[in-house]
């Protein structure tokens, strides 16, 4: 992910860019899930497992950047955004649970179709989360000062 290399003025844009990469992961996994649904999985289950692990790791890092960097900053400088932040944290928990479950399932069950409903719930939760987060990032983009953006950048650079 690219947040660590973004200049301070672009920290918000870098968080948005994280979602572009995450969405690409989701689309690639979705293509494999569609093959499972059609009974035509041409890729080995190990590839699906590898992609799920990559998605999990990138999602967890992105959520850490937000929950330990962005959200505390917003709590301090934009307390009026407490509810959208709380909503996003709840969505993070739902998404993390679904991804962890899929990683476990692909590694322990020979019946990959059990992944399909879990992925579909994850996919819906992820789409909702992405929309809510984008709206929040757009709202704060003009509100954060250069110093606040630098503070955010400096914090997430260490992750």
Q: Give per-residue pLDDT as tens, 95-104.
A: 999 999 999 9
Query: Which strand (E) or helix (H) includes residue 68?
Result: none
Nearest to 9 by CA among 135, 138, 151: 151
Its pTM stands at: 0.85
Mean pLDDT computed over 72-77: 92
pLDDT for the residue numbered 13? 75
DSSP H helical ranges for the chain: 11-38, 45-65, 71-77, 82-108, 115-141, 146-157
Nearest to 155 by CA among 15, 60, 58: 15
Residue recorded with tokens 């953006």:
149
- Determine the structural domain holding residue 65 and report its residue range: 3-157
**What total of structural domains would you count in the chain?**
1
CA distance 23 to 38: 22
CATH number at residue 79: 1.20.120.520
């Amino acid at each position: 992910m690219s947040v660590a290399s973004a200049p301070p003025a672009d920290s918000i844009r870098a968080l948005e860019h994280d979602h572009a990469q995450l969405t690409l992961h989701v689309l690639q996994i979705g293509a494999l899930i569609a093959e499972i649904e059609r009974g035509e999985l041409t890729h080995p289950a190990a590839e699906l497992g590898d992609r799920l692990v990559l998605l999990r790791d990138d999602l967890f890092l992105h959520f850490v950047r937000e929950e330990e960097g962005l959200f505390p900053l917003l709590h301090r400088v934009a307390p009026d955004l407490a509810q959208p932040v709380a909503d996003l944290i709840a969505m993070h928990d739902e998404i993390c649970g679904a991804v962890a479950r899929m990683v476990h399932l692909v590694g322990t069950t020979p019946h990959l179709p059990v992944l399909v409903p879990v992925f579909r719930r994850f996919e819906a939760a992820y789409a909702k989360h992405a929309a809510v987060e984008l709206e929040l990032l757009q709202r704060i983009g003009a509100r954060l000062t250069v110093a606040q953006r630098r503070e955010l950048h400096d914090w997430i650079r260490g992750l």
